[in-house]
Every structure is written in C-alpha cells, then in structure tokens.
Structure 1
Amino acid sequence: MTPEPGEPKSRYLHYLEILTGSLEEKKRWRQYKARVKRLPDDYRIAVEALERYLMHFGPADGPGAMTMYEDVADLFERSAADGTPIRGIFGDDPVEFVEAFMANYPLGQYRARERARFTSAVARAAGDATPSRDRTQT
C-alpha cells in the first residue's frame, strides 16, 4: 500500500498521513523499538530511561527525533557488542551525557542557542558586560 520512492502517494494515503502522521516514521519507530528490545537487559533499561528523558526534553519533530533514536540504538548495540559498561557510556553524570548528545541534533542545537541567548539577555538586564555579538542576537 505504500508507494515506491519517487512514486506519488495515493489520495487515500495522503489523507491517512494527515490524520495519523507519517507512515514511514511509524515504521522507523517500530524498527527502533525492536532493536531496543533485542538489547541485553541492562542496556535496554538504560536506553528506555534515556528515551523517557528525550521524550520530555529532546527534539519533538518526527525525522530529527527518529534519527536521534536510531543513533541511540546504534550506540547501545555497539556498546553491548564491545562489552562497554553502562557507566562507560554515560559517565558519572547521565544528564550531562544526554545534553551533549542532544546538542548534536538540529533541535538540540536550537536549545543550546536559546540557552545562550537567555543567559545573555539576563546578563544584559543585570548590567553585566557581554560580548557585542550577543547584543545583536536579541
């Protein structure tokens, strides 16, 4: 029922995707979840915790978020195959790890820019000296 790449979608599929979202993204999500399910228990538990965090604080768009989740699966599959301990992946501060991880994705970069913009605006409001380039960003 799904068209081949480059083939136009039927009117039915077009309307269905308007109502339910991209069918391709749903397929990618199911594939990602199957990959996570096959991980050893400790890695799976860690990925599910990371996933929960990303659901709340990570990118919310379909394709960007799916790329990030697929990269999470890649990382944990390789780590499990190499025998890398969970702390070897996350380090001592899991939040620092996930924030640095998210910064590698377009919406994660947006969050970093907005944090810098926010910090700069507060510094200006408080009368702190800030670099001139920050003043032009607001």
Structure 2
Amino acid sequence: MGIQDVIEGKKQWRAHLARVKALPPDYQIVYKEMQKYLFKVGPVDLLEGNLLSGIVDFFAESAATGRGVLEVIGEDVAAFCDELIKDSPTYADRYQESLKDKGGH
C-alpha cells in the first residue's frame, strides 16, 4: 500500500464520517454503537467491504421515511449486526481455525 492509497483511504473515511454526521441524532448514536460492535467482533473485510457505507445508506433511506432507528433495526443492536455479518468470516473464526490447525479443540 502506497502513500496515495493511504491518502485516498483517509479521504474516503472522512467523507463516510460526514455522511454519518448528516443522519438524525438517534441514527448517529446507533451507527456508532454498531461500528464499535463490528470493530470488536471483527469481520475480516470490514474496512475493505461496503458494510459500513451500506449501513449509512440504509439509515439515510430509513430516516427519510421519518421512522426511528429502533423501529427499523429493532431493540437488539448486536443481534442486528450479527445478522448482517452471519456469512462473513471474522477474526474470531480465524483464531478458532488456527487452534484447530495446531491440534487444539
């Protein structure tokens, strides 16, 4: 990864954050909680993929209808996130695989 890639990545991240800040306050709060959760759970392709920007798109469309964020995703934010990444490999999955490869259980 060259310096241009780093600069472009930062520009894209700043643009993404600006889109988050344009959401209504309840959506911003839930987005930030989802982001923290997803960074902790660790889908392997989180930063390379479109998951975070897709969430912002979904939230922007939902907010435009006048619905509250919890009406859209439900009360359990973690369960909603888990459903989003259910078919994505996580760092926890990789760790479990490495234990199996080493003869662990």
TM-score (norm: length of structure 2): 0.72
User: How far off its partner does 1:56 sit?
Assistant: 1.2
Give structure 2 stretches of 5+ with no counterpart: 101-105
User: How far off its partner does 1:69 sit?
Assistant: 0.9
Inter-partner Cα distance in structure 2 for 1:68 and 1:58: 12
Describe how 1:1-138 pairs up with structure 2 within 5 A: 14=2, 16=3, 22-61=6-45, 62-64=47-49, 67-103=50-86, 108-111=87-90, 114=93
Structure 2 vs 1, CA of residues 25 and 59 (structure 1 numbering), >3 Å: closer, same or farther?
farther
User: How far off its partner does 1:77 sit?
Assistant: 0.5
Q: What fraction of aligned residue pairs are identical, expressed as a percent?
A: 31
**Aligned-CA RMSD value:** 2.7
User: How far off its partner does 1:60 sit?
Assistant: 4.6
How many residues end up aligned between the 2 structures? 94
Task: Name segments (4+ residues, structure 1) moved above 6 Å.
Answer: none
Corresponding residue for residue 103 of structure 2: none
TM-score (norm: length of structure 1): 0.57
Inter-partner Cα distance in structure 2 for 1:30 and 1:72: 16
Larger relative contact order, structure 1 or 2 (CA cutoff 8 Å, min sep 6): 2
